[in-house]
Amino acid sequence: MTANKETKTEAEKAKTAKTAEKEKTAKTAEKAKTAEKAKTAKTAEKEKTAKTAEKEKTAKTAEKTKTAKTAKTAEKEKTAKTAEKEKTAKTAEKEKTAKTAEKAKPAKSADFRKSAGNPDTKTPRQTISKMPVVKRAIKPVPLSKLPLFPISKKPDNRANFKAIWDILQQLYPKPEVELDFETPFEILTATILSAQCTDRQVNTVTQFLFKKYRAIEDYANADPAEFGKDIYSTGFYNSKTKHVIGCANAILKDYGGAVPDTMKELTKLPGVGRKTANIVLSRGFGINDGIAVDTHVKRLSGKIGLTEQEDPEKIEQDLMKLAKREDYDNLSLTLIFHGRRVCDAKKPKCDVCAIQEMCPSAFI
């Protein structure tokens, strides 16, 4: 019995030992499994980290490439802009050179328009003794129905301008300037000399003057005292000498010897206002930029009732609103001729004036 008990005890021990061994083996396996899992997790983590690092590296590389491309593109754009600026600068320089060259060209001669012997105001051939026959195609507004100008309170006759202009064009169909000239500088000179002087006297002086001083350089280098004697008979010779010689020097210095053909540039010349500039533009270049307002134009436009202004530039603006651009020069010449031949300042010939019925100042 004792032996059986010991045997049983021994068997239990062996069983216990086997169970312990199994548990140990299980623990070892568990540890190994855990370690394997940890190792696998670690490996996965490393791979993940490596992949992340690779992605970051790729992203950085892509960013660097993009930055490089952007820089390259910016450089190209900068180069293109620089090239465009250089091209623009070259074009501007070419245009400037072309303009300078154009200005430096000798003045283009205008068509020679001699006065054809048209007499001035002091010759009896201009006296009109009877009413001229004209067609009255436009019915005028009666003078009694005309409104009044707001400031002067004189009759505002602008509504009858077309009817008046239609008749005046019949009286003076092809008005030509009475000053003799062959070049723009000659008409500039003649116009300056014509201030407070008749066209006939100016033509007498310029007949000699234009032969003595042929080139613009001759005027620029002229002796003021000698030039003053040459133009003495036109009156105000000191100021006229100063203006003519001053214009010649300015044109040589600033415009390459060619008379400028714009109002802006012409009025920069010594002694040249809008009236003189308009005459040079229209009669020297054939450009109708404005209306030359001299004493006749100023006086007649007021008497007829086309303006209430007294300032020549304001009168010019009023007349420009009424006339067509192509008629600007003819309107100025026509009013001048009518003022010389009919509407004399001291003794107007209202009885033989073809526009008397439309003139608020007739017989006054």
State the catalytic residues.
275, 294
Collect all residues with Cβ–Cβ distance below 8 Å to 331 and sequence separation of at least 6.
Answer: 165, 291, 319, 323
Q: What is the largest CA-CA distance in the chain?
A: 186
The CA distance from 20 to 17, in Å, is 5
Give the single-character DSSP code of 215.
S
Phi, psi dihedral angles at 181 (to 5 degrees): -165, 160
Chain centroid to CA 142 = 42
- Coil, helix or strand at residue 115: coil
b/e map 190-209, b = 16+ CB within 10 Å: bbbbbbebbbbbbbebbeeb
The CA distance from 72 to 154, in Å, is 77
Q: Which amino acid is at 153?
A: K
Q: Are 140 and 357 in contact (CB under 8 A)?
A: yes
Query: Positive or negative, the Cα torsion across 269, 285, 276, 152?
Result: negative
Nearest of 283, 300, 290 to residue 336 by alpha carbon: 300
Q: Are 280 and 247 in contact (CB under 8 A)?
A: no
Q: Burial, 74: exposed, middle or buried (Cβ in 10 Å; 0-12, 13-18, 19+)?
A: exposed
